[in-house]
Amino acid sequence: MPESGLPPDGRPALRRCVGSELDLAEFGRSYWGSRALLSHGGDYGDLFSLQAADELLSRRGLRTPFLRLAKNGTVVGDSQFTGPAGVGAEIGDQVRDDKVAALFASGHTVVLQALHRTWPALVDFATQLSSDAGHPVQINAYITPAESQGFSAHYDVHDVFVLQVAGEKHWTVHEPVHVDPLRNQPWTDHSEAVAAAARDRAPVIDDVLRPGDALYVPRGFLHSAKALGGVSAHLTVGLHTMTRYLLVQELAALAADEPSLRTALPLGFDPGDPAQLSLVLDEVASLLIKKIEQTTPDDLAPRLRRRTWSGNRPAPLAPLAHAAAIASLSAETIVHLRAGLRFQLVDGNPVRLLLPDRTISLPAATYPALSSLTDGASTRVGDLPGLDASDQLVLTRRLLTEAVLTTEPQ
């Protein structure tokens, strides 16, 4: 693995976010989490467009919270743009396209949320980017009327790539007032410092994004944007960065396995009294340090897998077609590892296939075939090594049923 911690080359989604001029390893070393970056010369028309936004708002039956509207930092209440779905659908919060149109015409920004779950091109893009970057991904779209601003200067608690898809938007980015904020440290905790920094400090980026431009904003960096002469649309691709504090949290959670740390505090104990705390704090700290020092990577890894691997779903699976493929499985069937699936293959007896939500145990003899199936290449069932024809079908059928494999091209 490269020094930057990025996976090997062949990361098409990350490449599109960073731009073609900068080496990805250099991005990892010099920009990731520490510096904003503006790049030009991309093309995101295949991912999203104003026409795609109109289709989602008018024909896809969106409900809250897949949509927000805001103007000058104030978010509109859901009831102002939703209503009943009509006959045959007991839904009371479906998006009303006529109300959205009126609000947009009056200067409100449309925020389409979680497009990594609702728009096919971005579902696939998010799956690839999560694999490329190693961090969970979410994607929102911001469509802003001419000369309008949806949100004032603020910071996010995750890293973002801004991909401009339509119109022009003027972006201003400032250094953080609170470096590397965690998810429980929102910008509103520092709202006065944020406003002062945006007003008084020189920006690190003060430029106009046009279609095909990309902007990387690390978490904590202040940013605001204003549409210029026409309607502007950009994608905000959020990377929910895993931090060292994540390990601290899980190490502390492991302390629940230590009986001496589960012992009750004295009867009548006042946790707000420093004098009383001093009687137990040293002992508790020593026990916690001992527990942490005894913890091994093998102890911690399963907890982190459960917590992080499910951050993004793997590539979509067509249930009816998949069931048909299982029913018609033969030695000639071509199968593929499901794109975006997080896993670890552990040799042994039994062989273990570790997945985000479960572990599949299989006979030791299946290891060569499993290695072939999980290396990312397409495989003909009859070519699986180390198994006879019957066992090839049994193994493949099991992994198809577990949604580890698919017969659809990736």
The answer to whether the CB of 358 falls within 8 A of the CB of 401 is no
Q: Per-residue pLDDT tens for 370-390?
A: 999 999 889 999 999 999 999
Cα 248 from chain centre: 21
Model pLDDT, residue 151: 79
The answer to whether the CB of 106 falls within 8 A of the CB of 186 is no
SS3 of residue 94 by DSSP: strand
Q: Per DSSP, what are the bridge partners of residue 238?
A: 138, 160
Q: Per-residue pLDDT tens for 190-241?
A: 999 999 999 999 999 999 999 999 999 999 999 999 888 889 999 999 999 9
Cα 321 from chain centre: 27
Radius of gyration of the chain (CA): 25
Measured distance CA(207)–CA(236) in Å, rounded: 17
Cα 128 from chain centre: 11
Model pLDDT, residue 3: 35
Q: Mean per-residue pLDDT for 8-27?
A: 89
Measured distance CA(304)–CA(24) in Å, rounded: 26
Give yes or no for residue 132 having a pLDDT over 60.
Answer: yes
Q: Mean per-residue pLDDT for 257-262?
A: 88
Q: Mean per-residue pLDDT for 152-159?
A: 94
Q: Mean per-residue pLDDT for 380-408?
A: 96
The answer to whether the CB of 150 falls within 8 A of the CB of 111 is yes
> What stretch of H or E contains 83?
strand 82-83
Residue 327: pLDDT band (50, 70, 90) is very high
Measured distance CA(124)–CA(134) in Å, rounded: 15
Measured distance CA(29)–CA(11) in Å, rounded: 16
SS3 of residue 327 by DSSP: helix
Residue 6: pLDDT band (50, 70, 90) is very low
> Residue 63 to residues 52, 67, 118, 334, 409: CA-CA distances in angstroms?
16, 7, 11, 38, 31
Model pLDDT, residue 410: 59
Domain 12-239 and domain 319-406, same fold? Reply is no
Residue 1: pLDDT band (50, 70, 90) is very low
Measured distance CA(164)–CA(212) in Å, rounded: 6
Q: Mean per-residue pLDDT for 276-290?
A: 91
Spatial neighbors of 56 by CB under 8 A, at least 6 apart, are 62, 112, 118, 119
Strands 334-337 and 169-174 come out as: unpaired
- Of 276, 194, 213, which Cα lies nearest the Cα of 40? 213
CATH class of 319-406: alpha beta
The answer to whether the CB of 152 falls within 8 A of the CB of 72 is yes
Residue 319: pLDDT band (50, 70, 90) is very high
The answer to whether the CB of 239 falls within 8 A of the CB of 119 is no
Tokens of 42: 């991309």
Q: Average per-residue pLDDT in the chain?
A: 92
Model pLDDT, residue 348: 95
Indicate the domain borders of the chain.
Answer: 12-239, 244-305, 319-406
Give yes or no for residue 333 having a pLDDT over 80.
Answer: yes
367 φψ region: left (φ > 0), alpha (ψ -120 to 50), beta (else): alpha
Model pLDDT, residue 92: 86
Other CB atoms within 10 Å distance of the CB of residue 148: 18
DSSP secondary structure letters along 196-210: HHHHHSPPSEEEEE-
Q: Which residue pairs from 300-304 have beta carbons closer than 8 angstroms and sit at least 24 positions apart in sequence?
A: 300/247, 300/250, 300/251, 300/254, 303/250, 303/253, 303/254, 304/246, 304/247, 304/250
The answer to whether the CB of 157 falls within 8 A of the CB of 210 is no
Topology of domain 12-239 in CATH is Jelly Rolls (2.60.120)
Spatial neighbors of 98 by CB under 8 A, at least 6 apart, are none
